[in-house]
Amino acid sequence: MKIAFVGTGVMGKSMAGHLLKAGHEVVVYTRTKAKAAELLAAGARWADSPAEAARGADAAISMVGYPNDVEEVWRSFRSTARPGCLLIDMTTSSPGLARQLAAAATAQGCRPLDAPVSGGDRGAREATLTIMVGGTAADYELARPLFEAMGKTISLQGGPGAGQLCKLANQIAIASGMVAMAEALAFARANGLDLEAVLKALSGGGASSWALSNLAPRVLKGDFAPGFYVKHFVKDIGLSLDVCREQGLRLPGLELAAKLYADVIAAGDGDCGTQALAKRYFAANG
């Protein structure tokens, strides 16, 4: 397939690379061309805009930062996409926006899917992402080979917007897990325990979690580089809270995580990875 891929950041670069390795023709665009250098060296072609990338494509994929970015990219996609083109947004975005974009794309004869992912930079590199999809069953099946090149756990959650709703449920679970990881490490540290030994014990028992297995080791090394940016996680928490307000839901754990991550942003760590929450706990407890 000829695939347009817009957004080659921490995760998008690896995702587009897997599509190249699978034998697809990949045309890329990103705001900072240097971020696409490795892909271009590997055989991807450059486009000067999302519209140019989508021209003649069988599928056009967006993996960008925020809902307004998605809206802008899809407007550009739709200006050149041919009827029958798969339009796939893999950004974590607004379920309501996903439904609006799907309606507009369908009216134009395109085949829209919202397909946000979970797994961070490691999942993207290793092609083990979890991909949660919203859209029609027929469009999902058409796109499945692309998803299988990038991920391991792939599921259709329902109609347009359902993929985004599932991803927000995923982020809600992660938010509480990050608080649990940070508090466990802060408690062990304050009591003078060997954090490596504590982590080994916790990771092998009932407290085991993705955060403990994948992010806590980075914390112990003082590695707060982004596998997934704090600023993007705060965006996801905000989207989840928006849906909660619409539905009249109260999720106190999520509300606490929102407050704690707002403090991380205020401390200047918005461009760090989500494990930077542990820094806040360490600083608050000496």
Rounded CA separation 167/24 (Å): 27
How would residue 4 be classed by pLDDT, with cut points 50, 70 and 90? very high
| Number of structural domains in the chain | 2
- Tell which of 158, 175, 200 closes a domain: 158
Verify that 147 and 206 share a domain, yes or no. Answer: no
Q: How far is residue 68's CA from residue 55's CA, in Å, rounded to a whole number? A: 22
Indicate the residue among 124, 158, 192 that finishes a domain. 158
The domain in which residue 197 lies consists of 165-284
pLDDT digits (tens, 9 = 90+) for 36-78: 999 999 999 999 999 999 999 999 999 999 999 999 999 999 9
pLDDT reading at 132 higher than 80? yes
Global pTM reads 0.93
**Residues with catalytic annotation?**
167
Q: Do both 30 and 94 map to the same domain?
A: yes
For residue 286, pLDDT beyond 80: no
- Domain identity same for 152 and 205: no
Tens digit of each residue's pLDDT (9 = 90 or more) over 223-245? 999 988 999 999 999 999 999 99
Query: 188 and 136 in one domain?
Result: no
What is the CATH classification number for the domain harbouring 249?
1.10.1040.10
E strand or H helix that includes residue 75: helix 67-80
pLDDT at 80 over 80: yes
Last residue in a domain, options 118, 140, 158: 158
Judgement on whether residues 171 and 130 belong to the same structural domain of the protein: no
Could you read off the pLDDT of 137-194 as tens digits, one per residue?
999 999 999 999 999 999 999 999 999 999 999 999 999 999 999 999 999 999 999 9
Residue 92 confidence (pLDDT) above 80: yes
Q: How far is Cα 134 from Cα 156, in angstroms, rounded to an integer?
A: 6
